[in-house]
Amino acid sequence: MATKRTPVDQRVRESVKRERTARGLTQEGLSERADLSLDAINRIEHGSRTPTLETIDKIARALGLTVGDLVDGDRRPPPPDLPAPLNQLITLLERQPDHVQDASLRLARVLVGVVKHDDKR
C-alpha cells in the first residue's frame, strides 16, 4: 500500500516557514530577500495563497535552497541549532562557488584572529 503524501502546497508552506525560522529570518526579512510582498509571504505560510512556481523559486533562492528542497521539504535534515547570524551567513554562502566559500573562510579566520588579538590587549 502506498504512503499518503502531504499535498504539495502544504509541504511548500511548511517548508517555507521552517526554513525561514531556522535561518532567523522574519517574514519581512524573507519578503525583502525574495523581492515579494510581506503579505504574500504571510499568506503563503498561512495557506490562504498557493504560490506560483516562479514565487516558489524566488523564495527558494532567497533561502539558499532549490525548488525541490521546498517541495520535498521533508527530505532535508533540520539545520543545526545555531545563532541566527550564523544561519544567515551559511544561507548566503552555501550556494556560492567553492572559491568564494574558500575565500570567505580565510576572511573569517583573519577576522576571528583580529578579534582574539584585540581581546588580549
Domain boundaries, the chain: 8-119
Q: What fold characterizes domain 8-119?
A: 434 Repressor (Amino-terminal Domain) (1.10.260)
In angstroms, the Cα distances linking 8 to 5, 35, 74, 87, 101 are: 8, 23, 11, 26, 33
Q: pLDDT tens digits, residue range 67-84? A: 988 888 655 555 567 777
Contact partners, residue 64, CB within 8 Å, separation at least 6: 90, 91, 92, 94, 95
Please give the DSSP secondary-structure letter assigned to residue 45: H
Q: pLDDT tens digits, residue range 10-36? A: 889 999 998 898 888 899 999 999 999
Is it the case that residue 113 has pLDDT exceeding 70? Answer: yes
Output the pTM of the full model.
0.61
Is it the case that residue 121 has pLDDT exceeding 60? Answer: no
